[in-house]
Each structure stands twice: as C-alpha cells, then as structure tokens.
Amino acid sequence: MDQSAAGIHMTILISGASGLIGSALTPLLTNSGHKIIVLTRPTSKALARSPATVAWPAIWDPTADKIELSRAGSLDAVVHLAGENIAGRWTRGKKARIRDSRVHGTRLLSVALAELPQPPKVLICASGIGYYGNRGEEVLDEQSRPGAGFLAEVCREWEDATAPAKDRGIRVVNLRIGVVLAAKGGALGKMLPAFRLGLGGPVGNGRQYWSWIAIDDLLNIVRHALVHEDVRGPINAVAPNPATNHDFTRTLGAVLRRPTPFAMPAFAVNLLLGEMGKEALLGSTRVKPAVLEQAGFSFQFPKLEPALRHVLGR
C-alpha cells in the first residue's frame, strides 16, 4: 500500500528533480500528499520553475564538496537521480563529468545523510543497466556479475558510493534503470524526429538487446521502493520483455506509421559517437526484472508496442 493512501505522508529529498525522471516524479509525489524538498545548486534554473507545493531549502555543489541539509529538517526518504547526461561523444572531460557527477556526488550525499542526527529510512539511488556491459544474448538478473567497459565501471563505483549511507543503517536501493520511454526526452525523444520523417532504422546489425522501461512504470517502481521495507540493494528497473534493436525500431515505426528503411551501420556509429556509440547503442544488455517479479510487482506496460503507444499518445 502507498503510505499516502493510508494517510501517512513522507518528506522526500530529491536530486535531479528537473531531469527526465525527476520532473515526472516530483508532481506525482506531491499530488500523493508527500512533501518534496529538492536538492539543487544555488544558481540552478530549477529554482525559478518550482511549483508552489515544493520546498527548496537543500543546497549542494558537488564540484566544491559542499552540501547543506540542515534547513531540510527531518527526512523520511531520499531519491537521488542527479548525474551528467551520457549522450554525446565521450571526450576525456565528458567522461570525467559523467563519473564525478555520479560517483563523487553520490558519496558526498551519502556521507551527509549518514551524519544527520536522524537519517532518512531509505535512499533510492539511480544506477543503470550499463552495470552489466555488453553481454549479447545472455539473460541478466540482479545476481549477474558486472560487465566491462566505461559505463560498467561507473555504475559499479556509483553503487559503491552509497556505502556510507548503508553503513549508517539507511536502507539503500540501487535502481539499475534501462532505456526510459518518455515522449519529451531521453533516448526516445532523440530518436523521434528522424523516425517521424521516415528516416529511422536499426543501429548496427539490430541484434543487440535494448532493455527498456515505460516512464509510468519507472515512477511506480520508485513509489514501490519508497514504501516496501523489504526492497533493498540492486533492482533492475526494466520491463519484463526486452527487445532487440531491430524489433524496437520496427515497432516504433509501426506506432508512428512510418517506414524504417535507413539502418545506421556500426562503422558510422563508431565514427560519429566513438566509445559512447559502441557501449550505449551497439552494446547488448538483455536484462530481466527478477527482484520485482519475485515481489509481485505489476507492470502497467510489460510489452513494447502498448508502452510506445501510451507515451506517444498513439
């Protein structure tokens, strides 16, 4: 049962509240009666966009090792979503920002939470299915070993950075998030312009698996993790039916009623995007949400076509 449904409202600190996931999660939780405090930089434009129901007293600047939680008061839960966008060519500076924003930022927050006189009961920290690396057709669950590559290294360090919170007795949930299906951002948002023009198609040979999640289900996974005290450790936040890139692009074309004849060969991906393209677009990660399925979690959109039709209003 959602605690808000039982009349119990939580005070929840959220980082990354202006991002793809956070901007959808914040109004959902406020509408459920929870008090939201956003962890943000003092100069963030998010301050100017704050809804009237959101408080903004928690300030941080990970690049300067500064975080101020004293004005936030007593916290019941923390949802940590902040991190540098991985899209784009991975220069040395870009990779440093990706790693530092996740690993250093998470450690800074975890230490600060552990030092509170009354720490929150739960820290839900974003991670990614990049943890598993490029694994071909191997079916992966939360017990699978970590993979190789930059994203796998970052995800391992990202999850390890929550150790100070865990050592303090805070229940830590590491959400290994797949490709998030949302119309206004993320990977799908970047794909839509070309596909709407009939210029879309598979990437590489199209046989690589893309493990995806409808944003509605992802938000419900967060709510599930907030209120179920037995949920802890790594959780694969993906739908139960991953799709190959070929099937994904073909289904997206069918939903948009557009042809998908233009495959992008692997050499072009590598030429344009380098290491990022190799790992994020050509890599195959076939993940199942074993922990959620064992817990009886009910997905609204377990299959790809209905999920795409929902998020695209088709």
> Going residue by residue through the chain (314 aa), what tens digit of pLDDT does each one get?
444 444 568 999 999 998 999 999 999 999 999 999 998 876 655 554 545 445 555 778 888 888 988 777 789 999 999 999 998 899 999 999 999 999 999 999 999 999 999 999 999 999 999 999 999 999 999 999 999 999 999 999 999 999 999 999 999 999 999 999 998 888 899 899 999 999 999 999 999 999 999 999 999 999 999 999 999 999 999 999 999 999 999 999 999 999 998 889 998 998 888 999 999 999 999 999 999 999 999 999 999 999 999 999 98
Distance CA 11, CA 73 (A): 9
Distance CA 204, CA 125 (A): 32
Q: Are strands 77-80 and 122-128 parallel, antiparallel or unpaired?
A: parallel
Q: What is the pLDDT of residue 4?
A: 44
> What is the DSSP annotation of 211-276?
-EEEHHHHHHHHHHHHH-TT--EEEEES-SS-EEHHHHHHHHHHHHT------B-HHHHHHHHTHH
Q: What is the pLDDT of residue 136?
A: 96
Q: What is the pLDDT of residue 6?
A: 47
Say what angle helices 304-312 and 245-256 make with each other, to 10 degrees. 40
Arch. (CATH architecture) of 3-181+212-238? 3-Layer(aba) Sandwich (3.40)
Question: Token match 């919170």: residue?
Answer: 165
Question: Token match 């999850």: residue?
Answer: 159
Q: Are strands 209-210 and 243-244 parallel, antiparallel or unpaired?
A: antiparallel
Tell me, what amino acid is at 181?
L
Question: What's 56-97 look like in SS3?
Answer: EEEEEEHHHCEEECHHHCCCCEEEECCCCCCCCCCCHHHHHH
Q: What is the pLDDT of residue 71?
A: 75
Give the number of other Cβ atoms within 10 Å of residue 136's Cβ. Answer: 11
Using alpha carbons only, give the angle 9, 289, 168 rounded to the nearest 5 degrees. 50
**Residue spans per domain, the chain:** 3-181+212-238
DSSP symbol at 299: P
Q: Is 72 exposed, middle or buried (0-12, 13-18, 19+ CB in 10 A)?
A: buried
Compute the half-sphere exposure of residue 109: CA atoms within 13 Å on the CB side of its CA. Answer: 39
Q: What is the pLDDT of residue 2?
A: 47
- Contacting residues for 109 by C-beta, under 8 A, at least 6 apart: 15, 39, 60, 67, 78, 80
For the chain, state the CA radius of gyration.
Answer: 19
| pTM of this structure | 0.92
